[in-house]
Chain A
Amino acid sequence: MILQDMKPTRRSFLVGSGSLAFALLAGGGVSVVRSAGAEPATAGLRDINGWVVINRDGSILIRFGAAEMGQGVNTSLPMIVAEELDAYWATVKVEQVSMDPDGIFGNPGFGGILFSAGSSSLEGYFDHLRRAGATARRILIHSAAAHWGVSPAQVTTEAGVLVNAASGKRMAYGDVVALPEIVTDIPAITDADLKPRADWRIIGSDPGRLDIPGKTRGAALYSIDVRLPGMLYAAQLLAPVEGESPVAVSDRSARDLPGVVQVVTLANSVAVLAERWETALAARDLLDVTWSEGSAFRKYGSEQELEELSRAVDDASLPAFAWESRGDAATALAQGTRKHAATYSTTHLYHAQMEPLNAVASVDEDGKGAEVWLGTQSQTISIGVAAGVLGTTPDRIRFHAMQMGGAFGRRTVFARDLLRDALLLSRAAGRPVKLMWTREDDVKNGWLRPATVHRLEATLDADGEVTAMSHRVASPSIMQFAFPTRWNPETGRDLLVMEGTESTDYAIPHFRAEHVITPRRCRVSAWRGIGWAPNCFARECFIDELAEQAGADQVTFRRNLLRNSPRGLAVLDAVVAMSGFGQAPQGRAHGLSFAGYKATRGAGVAEVSVEDGRFRVHRFWAAVDPGFAVHPDNLRAQVEGGILFGLSSLMRERASFTDGIIDQSNFYDYEPIRISDIPEIEVRIVESGAAPSGAGEIGVPMTGAAVANALRLLTGTTPRQMPFGVDVS
């Protein structure tokens, strides 16, 4: 059932007021629970786990299931509910969903679980949230109609007010809470019941993000900020290489430090528990640990891996998993006469989210339950991990999904180790524990974007049309490593690596994309833009080179390829117009890239110069088609951020490892882009009216080739390895 005990924190909402809570159930049913004003103070109040709570005072609480990591879902998702509910936006408050025992809040586009990744929240939740809002509105209408003794068809709504035009009667939403009868037996919402787009007044508008005022006062709370009575601080000395463990621990001097409570040996680390964080850090420095040192990963370095990938991409005898196939690319490529081939590569990258990973856990006395505070991209997975660690059931985990100080793919399943260790430490100490990584811990234990090598081949016909193209990627699999239970070794389909190779917008009769899966040499994970970033970089550099071979300019050549894709053409034309493509000022050049991210289409133009062997991106224009924009200003902000994330990955960012150990340690040797390096950015939203799709990552994939193609014009050669470094001479 959908009832759960109400948390005391919610009580303040209800005291002396009463409320109605609305849930749209998985099967399309609806449930409403009313709580009377006087009850909250007494025992036994039940609250419903619903999307919408309407309070007697007219305020409305809307819950959102996606996890807030900076992408603004705390505002954009509730806007969708509020639109169909016809709420008065200023009365809306929002709340992050931390737990979903009854499967109500999961992303329908993500297997119905709480999981925020792949820019999928808006796309996945859109329809569902509209229905949730429309259902709640219909219940209000039917209830008011019954009260007034009129037919529901005679009741309309106006931003938080129910209206019966014939009688002139009006009732605020909050007043429905006090009606003697709430009508919940209503016809189900159909598509025809949803507001036509022309009537939208919240979707497509720019209310400020609801989390921003707090974030300007330092008031947002991240898991790293949690402090609990009796809480201990934990600093971890982590195994130098994956798979190693402590074999001998000499901790006498660490234990002797006043304030050190315990030194605990875990599977891959030794942790110091202390009353204070500074003590935990100081004691960690005093540990003397001998590690097993037997890890196979000690044999590898990143340079070596890149060579391995280059060999693999060229070795036709290696098996490759087909990712996309149209026509007969093999035959067409073999028969073609005007051929072009090129190889591109990308090196490992680290996420560098600004909040170093951390976890807070307080294990119950019986060791079979816990309260947990965590920044995670998947509440569902984290709760499952916690239950597994304690050998208990998920209902024993009281979970707080905290605002994340950035995630970028690092905090999906890739952050479970800290959660595990925080739980084990709390259980060992019998006290709440805050486990924090330093920046050095976070870098040295990074789960990196894998290095990739891309081999592209194409043939042109006599008219310069692309008749066949293939895109072969060599890299380790992320899916196999991160989601072993969902990995099918027969088909070898790794969407985290291969998405973005499909080139479906391009009219190429014979096409194939394939993945040569190489052995994993370090921890790998998804990184903002996933496969789209490296794949679009390689493909769009190649397209520019093909245009040159065909004797066509970059725009005409791409327009022809996009002839069957109106959405592709629209963003390409928009960015060409915005940028005055090809008319760069003296000493600068324009580079163009078409690029998508899942259903979202985008195209970018970079204006670049090279001075003293260093490149600089002066301006960047982007045109993006997300179907339509639910929250346009936030969408622009996401694209701006994505563009800078992408540009950053072309410049100084580069992770490497030697003998299994990541070489970098902090922002001096892994330096994300700074404000002094940014171009002027202009983002235009080009709405096709298609179903809405995400924008958190679309800025990233367009950057690589846009800059590389400009550099080719300036220097005569395409930089084929990303990052290009700032020095390109």
Chain B
Amino acid sequence: MISLSINNKLVEVDTDPSTPLLWVLREHLGLVGTRFGCGAGLCGACTVHIDGEAFFACQTLVGDVADGRVVTIEGLSKQGDHPVQRAWIAEQVPQCGYCQSGQIMRAAALLARNPQPNRQDILDEMSANLCRCGTYARIVRAIERAAEEA
């Protein structure tokens, strides 16, 4: 049994410590908002916060986060009203939506660290996350809006 803090709750999971956190979140705990895109640290669909920083859940072994606080898209805000989420709605960002949990988690981590990022900061940070539907221009606008309104 491995104990984890996920979205401010202590949970126990019965798996090998070398299991990627992504499978634990999605398949053991049913926190399916964190997505599987590549399993290789290349797309960012699985982005979560560990102690406030963005990590690829597919590249994080569950045994390594026993001491950390994991936050997923489901735990980012109580009412879905984090400034980034509000900006995402205002700018009508998502299309298929599959990449968007990861995009939002990365954007939220960026703004927590750097509340007033310039455009280059945004591009540098968000380059870790792919969006095949091509919502990038709106992602940039939404992050700028969230920075302004936060």
Interface residues of A (CB under 8 A from B): 69-72, 208-209, 211-222, 224-225, 227, 233, 276-278, 352-356, 403-408, 436, 438-439, 633-634, 637-638, 640-645, 648, 666-668, 672-676, 678, 680-681
In whole angstroms, what is the CA distance A671 to B42 when docked?
Answer: 9
A637: chain B residues at CB < 8 Å are 92, 95, 135, 138
Q: Is the CB of A71 within 8 A of B95?
A: yes
In whole angstroms, what is the CA distance A353 to B136 when docked?
Answer: 15
Query: From residue A151, how far is it (CB to closest CB) to chain B in Å?
Result: 44
Given A644-B134, A645-B134, A676-B123, residue A218 in contact with residue B72 (CB < 8 A) = yes
| Closest CB pairs A-B (n = 3) | A218-B33, A70-B96, A405-B98
- Does B74 reach chain A (CB closer than 8 Å)? yes
7 A-B pairs within 8 Å (CB atoms) are namely A208-B92, A212-B88, A217-B73, A278-B19, A354-B37, A634-B92, A643-B134
Query: From residue A619, how far is it (CB to closest CB) to chain B in Å?
Result: 11
A352: chain B residues at CB < 8 Å are 132
- Does B1 reach chain A (CB closer than 8 Å)? no
Q: Is the CB of B133 within 8 A of A70?
A: yes
Q: Is the CB of A405 within 8 A of B38?
A: no
Given A218-B33, A439-B38, residue A408 in contact with residue B132 (CB < 8 A) = yes
- Does B131 reach chain A (CB closer than 8 Å)? yes
A213: chain B residues at CB < 8 Å are 80, 89
> Which of A214, A355, A404, A673 has most B Cβ within 10 Å?
A355
Residue among B30, B32, B95 making CB contact with A641, cutoff 8 Å: B95
Query: From residue A441, how far is it (CB to closest CB) to chain B in Å?
Result: 10
Residue among B40, B43, B85, B96 making CB contact with A216, cutoff 8 Å: B85
Closest B residue to A220 by beta carbon equals: B97
Chain B, interface residues (CB within 8 Å), range:
35 or more
Residue among B93, B126, B132, B137 making CB contact with A672, cutoff 8 Å: B132
Q: Is the CB of A276 within 8 A of B15?
A: yes
Q: Is the CB of B94 within 8 A of A212?
A: yes
Given A215-B100, A218-B74, residue A278 in contact with residue B15 (CB < 8 A) = yes
Residue among B39, B88, B94, B96 making CB contact with A404, cutoff 8 Å: B96
In whole angstroms, what is the CA distance A217 to B39 when docked?
Answer: 22
Q: Is the CB of B94 within 8 A of A216?
A: yes
- Does B45 reach chain A (CB closer than 8 Å)? yes
Closest A residue to B24 by beta carbon equals: A278
Given A355-B98, A642-B134, A644-B134, residue A666 in contact with residue B42 (CB < 8 A) = yes
Given A354-B131, A640-B134, A668-B42, residue A218 in contact with residue B32 (CB < 8 A) = yes
Given A212-B89, A217-B33, A439-B40, residue A406 in contact with residue B96 (CB < 8 A) = yes
Query: From residue B141, how far is it (CB to closest CB) to chain A in Å?
Result: 11
Tally of A-B residue pairs with Cβ under 8 A? Answer: 169
Q: Is the CB of B104 within 8 A of A216?
A: yes
Given A216-B85, A276-B15, A408-B132, residue A211 in contact with residue B27 (CB < 8 A) = no
In whole angstroms, what is the CA distance A72 to B93 when docked?
Answer: 12
Q: Is the CB of A356 within 8 A of B32?
A: no
Closest B residue to A233 by beta carbon equals: B27
Q: Is the CB of B32 within 8 A of A354?
A: no
Residue among B23, B34, B92, B101 making CB contact with A278, cutoff 8 Å: B23
A233: chain B residues at CB < 8 Å are 27
Q: Is the CB of A681 within 8 A of B137?
A: yes
Question: Considering the complex, which residues of chain B in the window 126-150 have a beta carbon less than 8 Å from any beta carbon of chain A?
Answer: 126-127, 129-140
Q: Is the CB of A633 within 8 A of B38?
A: no
Query: From residue A305, how far is it (CB to closest CB) to chain B in Å?
Result: 25
In whole angstroms, what is the CA distance A405 to B33 when docked?
Answer: 12
Q: Is the CB of A278 within 8 A of B96?
A: no
- Does B49 reach chain A (CB closer than 8 Å)? no
A638: chain B residues at CB < 8 Å are 95
Q: Is the CB of B35 within 8 A of A355?
A: yes
Chain B 84-127 interface mask (CB, 8 Å, partner A; 1/0): 01001100111111111100100000000000000000111011
A674: chain B residues at CB < 8 Å are 127, 130, 136
- Does B52 reach chain A (CB closer than 8 Å)? no
Closest A residue to B135 by beta carbon equals: A641
B73: chain A residues at CB < 8 Å are 217-218
In whole angstroms, what is the CA distance A215 to B30 when docked?
Answer: 16
A641: chain B residues at CB < 8 Å are 95, 133-135
Given contacts A213-B80, A666-B40, 12 further A-B contacts (CB under 8 A): A72-B95, A218-B100, A220-B97, A227-B27, A276-B28, A278-B15, A354-B43, A354-B96, A408-B132, A640-B134, A641-B134, A668-B40
- Does B36 reach chain A (CB closer than 8 Å)? yes
Query: From residue A281, how far is it (CB to closest CB) to chain B in Å?
Result: 8
Closest A residue to B43 by beta carbon equals: A667
- Does B16 reach chain A (CB closer than 8 Å)? yes
- Does B20 reach chain A (CB closer than 8 Å)? yes
Given A216-B80, A276-B27, A439-B40, residue A354 in contact with residue B99 (CB < 8 A) = yes
Closest B residue to A217 by beta carbon equals: B80
In whole angstroms, what is the CA distance A408 to B131 when docked?
Answer: 13
Closest A residue to B87 by beta carbon equals: A216
Given A219-B33, A354-B131, A678-B137, residue A633 in contact with residue B42 (CB < 8 A) = no
B72: chain A residues at CB < 8 Å are 218
Query: From residue B91, how far is it (CB to closest CB) to chain A in Å?
Result: 10
In whole angstroms, what is the CA distance A211 to B89 when docked?
Answer: 10
Closest B residue to A641 by beta carbon equals: B134
Closest B residue to A634 by beta carbon equals: B92
Closest B residue to A70 by beta carbon equals: B96
Q: Is the CB of A69 within 8 A of B40?
A: no
In whole angstroms, what is the CA distance A169 to B19 when docked?
Answer: 66
Q: Is the CB of A222 within 8 A of B27?
A: no
Closest A residue to B38 by beta carbon equals: A439
Residue among B27, B97, B124, B131 making CB contact with A403, cutoff 8 Å: B97
Q: Is the CB of B92 within 8 A of A675?
A: no
Given A216-B94, A218-B34, A218-B101, residue A675 in contact with residue B88 (CB < 8 A) = no
Query: From residue A259, how far is it (CB to closest CB) to chain B in Å?
Result: 10
Query: From residue B45, how far is it (CB to closest CB) to chain A in Å?
Result: 6
B97: chain A residues at CB < 8 Å are 70, 211-212, 214-215, 220, 403, 405
Chain B 41-80 interface mask (CB, 8 Å, partner A; 1/0): 0110100000000000000000000000000111000001
Query: From residue A641, how far is it (CB to closest CB) to chain B in Å?
Result: 3
Closest B residue to A209 by beta carbon equals: B92
B19: chain A residues at CB < 8 Å are 278
Q: Is the CB of B20 within 8 A of A278?
A: yes
